[in-house]
């Protein structure tokens, strides 16, 4: 068991970055994963993707354990009820988290975590946007988002679209609906209960957070070392 450390207070948002460069080893991190996480990792055939998955989920457990004052292997997750249908596939949450909320996103060689006392969602995408991404999902944008893009010069639209998209994904992850019920609903900027924040991200990435019940007064950003995660054990 570890000693609880500096969990976020009301009005605070804690953001953590975990770089997972090519060739990063998952080390002993797999030992803290539960059976479901281990099974998901084993289904990933490419070693690089499998190592990144293991490090991402072990990093989440390590951070949760620090905030809760327990061991990484003792952290337990569950799903909140879906706000649309009531079934148990809503946003992930901590079992016995005592008000600590979290969200995780990963893309390419980076993992993003956020912790708060209110429901939170984050999204992370590599930049520039993948070719054809706007064509594939652009039709699912809210009319207000579509108008924002249409008013921009063509040269500015790809970057603007990516920022709109990560905000939308962050909001959907925060509400717990995800894309299961479609993504054509309003983003947080059209929902008074939610605040959207563009996050400073490493070069080559775009990131955003969505926080319910008011804008965070304090944002703390830190970096988690992959070598620290790789030496995490259940003990």
Domain ranges of the chain: 12-230
Tokens of 101: 């909320």
Longest dimension (CA), the chain: 55
The model carries a pTM of 0.91
Tokens of 188: 């947080």
Task: Note the CATH architecture for domain 12-230.
Answer: Alpha-Beta Complex (3.90)
- Calpha distance 24→106 (Å, rounded): 15
Contact 17, 223 (CB under 8 A): yes
Contact 53, 40 (CB under 8 A): yes
pLDDT score of 25: 80
Least Cα distance to 120 among 184, 190, 170 occurs for 170
- Calpha distance 61→82 (Å, rounded): 23
Per residue in 61-112, pLDDT tens?
999 999 999 999 999 999 988 877 877 778 899 998 788 999 999 998 999 9
The answer on pLDDT for 184 being more than 70 is no
């Amino acid at each position: 068991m570890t000693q609880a450390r500096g969990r976020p207070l009301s009005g605070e948002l804690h953001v953590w970055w975990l770089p997972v460069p090519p060739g990063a080893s998952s080390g002993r991190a797999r030992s803290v994963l539960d059976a479901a996480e281990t099974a998901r990792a084993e289904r990933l055939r490419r070693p690089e993707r499998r190592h990144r998955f293991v490090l991402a989920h072990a990093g989440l457990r390590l951070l949760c354990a620090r905030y809760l004052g327990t061991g990484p292997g003792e952290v337990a997750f569950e799903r909140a009820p879906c706000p649309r249908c009531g079934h148990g596939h809503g946003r992930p949450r901590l079992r016995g988290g005592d008000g600590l909320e979290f969200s995780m996103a990963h893309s390419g060689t980076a993992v993003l975590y956020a912790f708060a006392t209110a429901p939170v969602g984050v999204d992370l995408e590599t930049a520039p946007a993948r070719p054809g991404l706007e064509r594939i999902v652009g039709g699912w944008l809210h009319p207000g988002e579509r108008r924002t893009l249409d008013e921009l010069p063509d040269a500015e639209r790809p970057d603007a679209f990516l920022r709109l998209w990560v905000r939308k994904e962050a909001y959907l992850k925060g509400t717990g609906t995800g894309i299961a019920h479609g993504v054509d609903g309003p983003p947080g900027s059209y929902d008074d209960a939610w605040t959207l924040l563009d996050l400073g991200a490493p070069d080559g990435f775009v990131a955003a957070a969505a926080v319910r019940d008011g804008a965070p007064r304090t944002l703390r950003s830190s970096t988690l070392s992959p070598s620290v995660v790789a030496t995490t054990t259940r003990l």
